[in-house]
Amino acid sequence: MEFTAKTIADFLHGEVDGNPDIKVSTVAKIEEGSEGALSFLANPKYEHYIYSTGSSIVLVNKDFVPSEKVKTTLIRVANAYEAFASLLQLVDQARPRKMGIHATAIIEPSAKIGSDVYIGPFAYIGENCVIGNGCSLFPSVYIGDNTKLGNNCIINPGVKIYNDCIIGDGCIIHAGTVIGSDGFGFAPQSDSEYMKIPQLGNVVLEDHVEVGANTTIDRATMGSTIIRKGVKIDNLIQIAHNVEIGENTVIAAQTGIAGSAKIGKNCMFGGQVGIAGHIKIADGTKIGAQAGVLGEIKEENTIIQGTPAIDYKQFFKSSVIFKNLTELRKKVDSMGRDIESLKD
């Protein structure tokens, strides 16, 4: 499928700077571009590639001023990164979609299946399940009894959704993820053994949640573990029982959130963040990679870093001291020896 620069500019409400009739049929990184490819430039550190790229069209911000001659056709838009993302969505939506129910899929008689669905080989759908219209369940997906999927969900290969869970409209769950497995609940006994506490709740994903590959979201002990509307969760993340994550929060890979933590809306967590259990994180909190949060964050739009996590400005000031600790120790030892010699 080919598009001209003018067609793309009209779709993005942008302006063509160059040949409006030039055509593209694929997308590429600006540094790897070739004839017929569309690229974008949003980060200034990649600007030097725009003067040598082989891409036929490059999206740039409206205020971009080249420092030398540009050979390629530019399309100037309000935000090049967002515009490029919009085009990728358009390309993705144009891909052919699988339809129908494979002969090896097992669907219990009491399950209700919507229209325009795809259910792949060896998928299993349990008793009293509801699968919404336009859903795609890829091979080896397991949907436990009484689970409900909204419309237009994509459940990728090998996903396991345990019984009684509720998945909203437009959710995407990537391969290998497990939703609704037991929370880590064990009561210590007098003989130093542990008694398992039954986990009787469920997991609720509201609309337009995306969950990365090999992530686990535990069911609640009682009630629900809740992932609110628009949350984006990366790969390899552990979310424990009775956690609640607010709307439009984004969480990067290898983060762990302990039981009953309450995360506000519009938060951003870097990779390998650890959140202690039974604490609240205020709306708009930003947490740097590898931070360990042990106490509540009460003030909205706080930015923290480190373990235990502190204000990011304090953290960076402290890191300067950390780097000099060896030299400081030598000076303190030397001063100690001088004091002892003066005493003598």
- Contact criterion met (CB below 8 Å) for 212 and 177: yes
Distance CA 317, CA 101 (A): 59
Place 240 in a pLDDT band, splitting at 50, 70 and 90: very high
Place 208 in a pLDDT band, splitting at 50, 70 and 90: very high
Phi and psi for 75 in degrees, rounded to 5?
-120, 115
pLDDT at 176 over 90: yes
Average pLDDT value for the chain: 95
CATH 2.160.10.10 domain extents, the chain: 100-315
**CATH for 100-315, options being 1.10.490.10, 2.160.10.10, 3.40.50.720, 1.10.357.10:** 2.160.10.10
**Residue 117 three-state SS:** coil
Q: What is the pLDDT of residues 250-290, one digit of tens each?
A: 999 999 999 999 999 999 999 999 999 999 999 999 999 99
pLDDT at site 318: 83
pLDDT at 121 over 90: yes
pLDDT at site 329: 87
pLDDT at site 200: 96
pLDDT at site 8: 95
Distance CA 299, CA 110 (A): 49
pLDDT at site 317: 84
Pick the catalytic residue: 13, 48, 174, 241?
241
CATH 3.40.1390.10 domain extents, the chain: 3-94
Percentage of the chain beyond pLDDT 70 is: 100
**Residue 37 three-state SS:** strand
pLDDT at site 314: 86
pLDDT at 1 over 80: no
3-94: what fold?
Answer: 3.40.1390
Average pLDDT over residues 55-79: 96
Q: Which residues contact 218 (CB under 8 A, 6 or more apart)?
A: 180, 181, 182, 183, 184, 199, 203, 225, 238, 239, 240, 241, 243, 259
pLDDT at 300 over 80: yes
Place 315 in a pLDDT band, splitting at 50, 70 and 90: confident
pLDDT at site 46: 95
pLDDT at 175 over 90: yes
Q: What is the pLDDT of residues 33-45, one digit of tens each?
A: 999 999 999 999 9
Q: What is the pLDDT of residues 133-156, one digit of tens each?
A: 999 999 999 999 999 999 999 999
pLDDT at 94 over 80: no
pLDDT at site 92: 82
174 is catalytic: no
Distance CA 132, CA 167 (A): 10
Burial of 339 (0-12, 13-18, 19+ CB in 10 A): exposed
Average pLDDT over residues 228-236: 98
**Residue 152 three-state SS:** coil
pLDDT at site 343: 83
pLDDT at site 325: 85
Point out the least confidently predicted range of 22-26, 27-31, 200-204, 307-311. 307-311
Average pLDDT over residues 187-202: 93
